[in-house]
Amino acid sequence: MQPKFRIAAITDEYSPADPAAAMAQMQKTGMTGAEFRVLWGKNIMDLAPDELAKAKELAAAHGMEVISIASPILKCVLPGAPDVDTRFQQDIFNSKHTFDDQPRLTEKAIAIAKHFDAKIIRVFSYWRTIEPDRCFDAVCDALSGLASQAKAEGLIIGLENEHACNIATAAESARVLNAVQHPNLKLVWDPANALCSGETPFPGGYQRLPKDRIVHVHVKDCHMEGHKPVWGPVGSRQVDWKGQISALWNDGYRGWLSLETHWPGPDNNKYEASTICGWNLRGLASM
């Protein structure tokens, strides 16, 4: 069955070392979109010009549209903020950039997005602190500035709700989107991240979101054991993906559903895990 939604994946969820192998399997699954985060073991921000050129050639050879630069922008400590909340695992994906690196990273991300003709630059909201409300104004200021820079380049800043960052839930996402009424700031909605933050992502969390500000959707699945997510095959855990995808369609969302597996897979085989989850996603997107 042909998916109603366009489907995609973050390539390093299949293989962080071999994007060609990743995109070959993605292509078999019917995916036509790719997000770049780690290629050949390097964060996208650290690729050399020849590596960026090679990545573009590989995407074209596999019929992939590069839809998003999965950058680490604002995945860092906010100076002067309360202590970081150590309950949440901080996934850095080979990125060790600091607050002082953010202006340089932003310029680099814009250049990389334009190189790939990608329209979305994914960003975050600083590592989550024990008092995230005290970081709210600083997050809004940073996102407003990023959106203004993106507007000048015809790009969209996609804020991902991330359980290890200050904007983690749908409620927090709705609050920041209401505070920053900029047309170039939109949401990368990740229901599983909201679940990790103690929220029921669908239907409760999703109902809070301004639907016209959702620009992209990440797909993964887990259940919680305390504060620890236990990842598994998409559609088999605690996120109501059938209900969520149906609601997105009924509410007029026509963007991508993009796989971000996280599940280690059978025998810790991430390639196999993403292959399984990719086919599951195709089935869900075809409903």
CB-based contact 85:130 (threshold 8 Å): yes
Sequence-separated (6 or more) residues with CB below 8 Å from residue 186: 156, 157, 158, 159, 177, 213, 214, 215, 216
Q: What are the Cα distances from residue 133, in Å, to 2, 59, 95?
A: 44, 40, 26
Q: pLDDT digits over 277-287, tens only?
A: 999 999 999 97
CB-based contact 11:34 (threshold 8 Å): yes
Please give the Cα distance from 194 to 160 (Å, whole number): 10
- What's the chain's average pLDDT? 96
- Pairing label, strands 214-219, 185-189: parallel
pLDDT of residue 97: 84
Pull the structure tokens for residue 211. 């639907």
Boundaries of every domain in the chain? 6-285
CB-based contact 122:188 (threshold 8 Å): yes
Q: Return the CATH number of 6-285, one of 3.30.499.10, 3.40.190.10, 3.20.20.150, 3.40.50.720.
A: 3.20.20.150
CB-based contact 194:241 (threshold 8 Å): no
pLDDT of residue 96: 74
pLDDT of residue 58: 98
CB-based contact 245:287 (threshold 8 Å): yes
Backbone angles phi, psi at 159, to 5 degrees: -75, 120
Please give the Cα distance from 280 to 202 (Å, whole number): 19
Name the strand (E) or helix (H) holding 221.
strand 221-225
Among the listed residues 128, 132, 158, the one whose alpha carbon sits nearest the alpha carbon of residue 143: 158
Please give the Cα distance from 102 to 108 (Å, whole number): 10
Among the listed residues 106, 224, 215, the one whose alpha carbon sits nearest the alpha carbon of residue 161: 215
pLDDT of residue 2: 86
Ordered mean pLDDT values, 10 residues apiece, the chain (287 residues): 93 98 98 98 96 98 98 96 87 75 97 98 97 98 98 98 97 98 98 97 98 98 94 98 98 98 97 98 94
Q: pLDDT digits over 136-192, tens only?
A: 999 999 999 999 999 999 999 999 999 999 999 999 999 999 999 999 999 999 999
